[in-house]
Amino acid sequence: MTGTSKPTPKNDLLLRALLRQPVERTPVWMMRQAGRYLPEYRATRERAGSFLKLCMTPELACEVTLQPLERFPLDAAILFSDILTIPHALGLGLQFETGEGPRIERPVRSKADVEKLGVPDPHVELRYVMDAVSLIRKELNGRVPLIGFAGSPWTVGTYIVEGGSSREFSRIKTMMYNEPATLRALLQLLADSTRAYLNAQIAAGAQAVMIFDTWGGVLTPAQYREFSLHYMQSILHGLTREAEGRRVPVILFTKGAGDWLSTMAQTGCDALGVDWTTDLGDARRLVNDRVALQGNLDPNCLYAAPERIREEVGRVLASYGNGHGHVFNLGHGIHPAVPPEHAGAMIAAVHELSPQYHTPR
């Protein structure tokens, strides 16, 4: 479903900023901007009956994707989905336990387990995601760009091997030390699956894509390069980079990767997400303006009073400094207990304070 018939975004600040092109102000969106902090999301989730049903019903996924845009003047929509759609498509028995997070009923822990797996067809097993992307694009009608996304092979692999969320990552790290060939085979299969999945999202209408590597920061620097970054680069090498007559920017985000940003910038991505533990000025020097940067307000800041939020927004903007190539975001996803009006205060502050950093000097 490619082609030039889809409307060009009336607001394309995000796409320009990700490509380090001139913008009038810094674009802003939030990771997890469609989520539990919004009462309207909670109502739709209740109607759906389960989180998985919400993800797998295109009309409901579209509804919650658009909810934050009805409330806030954001510069992008991000597809409502989950990073574990690929394990679900692999038939590993994904369940979401209330209060406990995701659970994989049939974890992958041996060479034989890996050999049973094949790359899912995104137009068959993940058709519901593509239908949601197409519907969201239609409903957006060019208002703002739509971001598609996937989890990184390493991060998705942690859930597949551990059987769910983990603090110690003992099972996957044991595999990494004792059976590295088995882990590499699993990660390559996930990279191939993720590349096909993201390309299908782009064909369905995603105008930028982001790869979330939530758990890359639990690795040593050498392990990160071998078991996380290598497989994200593998995805990039076969990714569709142009659709509808313009470039499709790719954002890589590894939580806790401050020291590795320079290496990440060499992958061929267009932008890097930066968490709140790294100063944006330091990050900008590390990448030497080769890529755009996205971030990086501490999500906990949104519990503060609106005037403090405004101060911190100003500090983040100043840390990046003058020039283009910055997308304002949180350093990770918005917390469920944040008052929606505090998110609104952050967005308003970006609108108010960022234009000064984009005027010729």
User: Was 33 annotated as part of a binding site?
Assistant: yes
Q: Report the SS3 class of residue 279.
A: coil
> Among 81, 89, 77, which Cα is nearest to 29's?
77
Residue 274 tokens, joined? 């930066």
- 109 labeled binding residue: no
DSSP one-letter string for 185-232: HHHHHHHHHHHHHHHHHHHHT-SEEEEEETTGGGS-HHHIIIIIIHHH
Query: Is 159 annotated to bind ligand?
Result: yes
CB 302 within 8 A of CB 338: yes
26: Cα separation from own chain's centroid = 19
Residue 3: burial class (beta carbons within 10 Å; 0-12, 13-18, 19+): exposed
Q: Which of 16, 20, 25, 45 is catalytic?
A: 45
Asked whether residue 36 is marked as a ligand-binding residue, the answer is: yes
Total residues found in the chain within this entry: 361
On whether the CB atoms of residues 73 and 349 are closer than 8 A, the answer is no
Neighbours of 256 (CB within 10 A): 18
Catalytic residue among 36, 71, 127, 225: 36
The yes-or-no answer on residue 32 being catalytic is yes
332 in a labelled binding site: yes
Annotate 192-230 with b (16+ C-beta within 10 A) or e (fewer): bbbbbbbbbbbbbbbbbbbbbbbbbbbbeeebbebbbbb
- Do the beta carbons of residue 160 and residue 92 sit within 8 Å? yes
Which of 197, 236, 233 shows the shortest CA–CA distance to 87?
197
* 82 labelled catalytic: yes
* Listed residue (232, 217, 233) closest to 274, CA to CA: 217
Distance between CA atoms of 254 and 267, rounded to whole angstroms? 13
Q: Out of 12, 37, 75, 82, pick the active-site residue.
A: 82
Query: What torsion, rounded to 10 degrees, do the Cα atoms 78, 83, 88, 89 define?
Result: 70
Q: Is 82 annotated among the ligand-binding residues?
A: yes
Q: Answer yes or no: is 35 a known binding residue.
A: yes
Q: 41 a known binding residue?
A: no
Exactly one of 20, 32, 284, 310 is catalytic; which is it? 32
- Is-contact 312 304, C-beta < 8 A? yes
Concerning whether 159 is annotated as a catalytic residue, the answer is yes
Binding residues for substrate: 32-36, 82, 159, 214, 332
Residues annotated within the binding site are: 32-36, 82, 159, 214, 332
- By annotation, the residues acting in catalysis are 32, 36, 45, 82, 159
